Structure 1
Amino acid sequence: MAHDDPHALDRTYQAPAGLSVDVSDPALNPGLPPHRARVTDQDPKAMKAAVRTVYTLFYLSLAGSIWAVAAYMLFPIESGSLIDVRYNNLFIGLGIALALLALGIGAIHWSKAIMADHEHVEYRHPTRGRDSTRAAAIQAFADANEESGFGRRVMIRNSLIAAVVASVVPGLALFRGLAPQDTPENPIAGQPVKLLQHTMWEKGMRLAHDPDGTPIRAADITIGSAVHVIPEPLGKVAHEDGYLEEKAKAIVLLMRLLPEQLIESEERKSWSYNGIVAYSKVCTHVGCPVALYEQQTHHLLCPCHQSQFDVTEHAKVIFGPAARPLPQLPITVDDEGYLVAQSDFHEPVGPSFWERH
């Protein structure tokens, strides 16, 4: 309970001899329990052993971080070998797990066996910001440094700093995998604009259901529906090397509205068919799949960062961080009534920032 006099809590109630007092009474201060000295407080050898254990754990954490980076280089996933991919995941995971686990155990052991553990009471004060309060805060930091031994115990301090700094290095190293490099086999691997400039869509290619590859008839698309679409050839091939990359670029969302609801520019009036329109599912913000369609408002929603696109008007951005409309796939029907592409997209799919120089 609060007291006007903070020193009131210092007064431990002393009961007269032979008188039993109920110390559970909240009005009474039972005082602090007797302090129990640890083994490391009583035995200098035990203290030295604890210090060695802590900095050994910190250096073990450092070794785990270094091993994770080494494993990333020794087993490159870019090689295409399934064995390398497995070893990459296994040894990087083990290295990061060792780094974080040793760091955590070392910090806990340091606090429990080495840092001062004398109990104290921290009083609540009605106001803050006075000179005496600032001085007390500075003193508190000085006391914490003295009690923890951070300033005195050089081996613990240096090993902790090295382990903490190294623990983020594996994560930084893994970012390299997000930026593929050009190779003789794929000279544009590291050039996102060129990679996304074209997809596998081409003139006359049928639109098919994702994932089974069944061709789609225009007559089967009802008003208000939304259909996930891939190029027909993707439904007929096994998941070979490069399959997912091609699919990720070519995925489309197909919707049907009343023709009079579409607001189309002159050059794009031929890109739809009887109210059916097709747009890339790859959000122009950071590339998340745009797959939420609001039938009543005709809005497409990206679930990652809530960008919204108006299907009635060339999927223009009406809300959120996306910088440009979703690319539209020009479509028509063939002689059998199946929906087909008139051509590839006329602009790069995917995030807009990849187009900046």
Structure 2
Amino acid sequence: MESDSQVSPLQRPSAKKALLILSFVGLFIGNCGLPLITRLYFIHGGNRVWLSSCLLSAGWPFILVIMIAAFYHHRVIRGDSSAKLFNMKPRLVLFSAVLGALTGVGNYLYAYGISKLPVSTSVLVIASQLAFTAGFAYLLVKQKFSPFSVNAIVLLTIGSSVLALHTNSDRPEGESNKEYVLGFVMTLAASAVWGFILPLTEYTYQKAKQIIDFPLVMEIQLYINFFATLFGIVGMLINNDFKVIPREARNFDLGETKYYTIIVCTAMLSQFFAIGAGGVIFCASSLLSGVIISVLLPVTEVLAILLYKEKFQAEKGVALVLSLWGFVSYFYGEMKHAQNTKENTSPAEMEVPLNHG
């Protein structure tokens, strides 16, 4: 009996592991760099939330360039006349459009939140997305959980909840308590939206009704970011951001050149994040993608404290310890699961090629 998804069989496990590592690197660069560069825009005079949210997907032409290069390699260099630049069927385009609209909503919520919160606070709030990812993964893709993964989810959720205590302690100067609390709520809402998007992306792979390989994963991310950018552009038009950008650039604290440099870097880093997240979901699962995002948050936390001299209160310390404890619990559970699977698998079974189709 064939499943709904038709995923290309993995011919070489080592190739998939290499792809998973590369996806992790992309996720590392995007996940750590994006909050820092986005916050840099706001602390030095930028105040256009719609512009910032649009930049979180506007780098989609970067993916198109990679796709064109791959198409040229297969069609011209390798002489594969069957190679196509675009391979998505209308059904998959529709799925991607829905994901793009949701991504646009999540981007706006995130941009608003980071405009009000220090990076070291916002990244710990974002850690709560793992709980949302786990819940939606259970509902959408029937994700199975071990006691260790459940423990990790609980710890990470408690860790982010701790930050709701004494929220005034790291409020940026000149910002009202209402604005700070709203930023906290918007960031938490962004976590919920992204926690839904990751399993929905995995669900899209399963229900695509065509062969899913990594080039198609790239194409899906291209469409998702394209539609998310359209969502952001509509918001920018309504908010008159395009008219304000030149004036804001001239008045930017770091100068006009660095203003546009920050804009370009934000757009590029967002694509590293998108490609990395999509790759991890393709190679493993949406839950692992959510875990990796959460694992990298302490790195961003430390970088924000070092680069932006942000405060590190007791609440952040407790949240960080709980988060690290959750990370260790999850990966220990995965190691135990892999070890038990290996011990309970016969040599004959281990020789059977992996096929998701």
- Tell me which protein shows more helix as a share of its residues: 2
TM-score (norm 2): 0.23
Larger relative contact order (Cα-Cα within 8 Å, sequence gap ≥ 6): 2
- Tell me which protein shows more strand as a share of its residues: 1
TM-score (norm 1): 0.23
Larger CA Rg, structure 1 vs 2? 1
